[in-house]
Amino acid sequence: MAIIRAVAIDDDLRRARAGDGAAMAALLAKYQPRVAELAHRQLQRRCRAQEHRALAAMSTGDIVQDVLVEVFKGLDRWEGDTEERFVGLLATLVEYRLIELLRGARALQRDERRHSGTGAETAGVTDLQRSPATIAMTHEQLAVYHEVLATFADRERVLLVRRLEDGEEFAQLAADLAYPSADAARKAFHGVHAKLLLRLRGRGLEPPAPAGSAP
């Protein structure tokens, strides 16, 4: 049954990415409620109390639908073997898209405070704090780093962030991002990391080293 279900997911994704509106609507109807609930729970673990209202607004309704549509369109080859792993992957990708939206909103607020002189900056979501891998970067370098990260597909971007900035083990990355094994996640990381190095150096920026142990 798991293999049959995986094949069906592949077919639905293929048709949705090709612009089949009925396939996209079917995917949204089937997965949006479960993905939204799971992504919201994951986000709550990452945020401080003052961010709960913003997260509640962002992880329900049209915003999650819009993000999920973009994730479906950009999702690279599905390598999982169960529907639950597929839902978990979607929730993780949606979670990181919402974190990026919050990062942008926080940056806008900081810029407004700088121009108005109304007080100190705060960051409500822990993932928006500067990680050990990026702590030495200037504001301008961080902006370039995030711009370059945005050029990668969703799963590749999350793989890079969680390995480089959080130092997560490949076994956990494989489980969360639906790679068939830790070795597959490791190989995928090395491939996209090489691309990241080239793109960052092309922008004149030396990329951060992975947090924790060497990859």
CATH number for the domain spanning 137: value is 1.10.10.10
Residues 53 and 112 in one domain: yes
Whose CA is closest to 66, among 35, 20, 45? 35
DSSP per residue, 10-74: HHHHHHHHTT-HHHHHHHHHHHHHHHHHHHHHHHHHHB-GGGHHHHHHHTSTHHHHHHHHHHHHH
Q: What is the mean pLDDT of the chain?
A: 78
* End-of-domain residue from the set 102, 128, 154: 128
Give the residue numbers spanning the domain of 82. Answer: 1-128
Two structure tokens written together for 114: 């700088």
Q: Are residues 215 and 145 in the same domain?
A: yes
Same domain for 123 and 140, yes or no, is: no
- Residues constituting the chain: 215
**Does 146 share its domain with 210?**
yes
Both 150 and 108 in a single domain? no
Q: Which of 128, 156, 185 is the last residue of a domain?
A: 128
Dump pLDDT digits (tens) for 105-116. 666 666 556 566
pLDDT value of position 76:
72
Q: What is the mean pLDDT of residues 138-167?
A: 88
Our count of domains for the chain comes to 2
Pair (112, 176) in one structural domain: no
Do 111 and 157 share a structural domain?
no
State the average pLDDT over residues 68-90.
83
**Whole-model pTM over 0.75:** no
Distances in whole angstroms, Cα of residue 189 to Cα of each of 118, 160, 174, 215: 42, 7, 11, 9
- 82 and 173 share one domain: no
Given this model, what pLDDT does residue 1 score? 46
Same domain, 82 and 145: no
Give the per-residue pLDDT at 58: 61
Residue 90 shares a structural domain with residue 43: yes
Q: Do residues 119 and 43 share a domain?
A: yes
Are 136 and 111 contained in the same domain?
A: no
What band does 121 get if pLDDT is binned at 50, 70 and 90? very low
Domain final residue pick, 128, 158, 182? 128
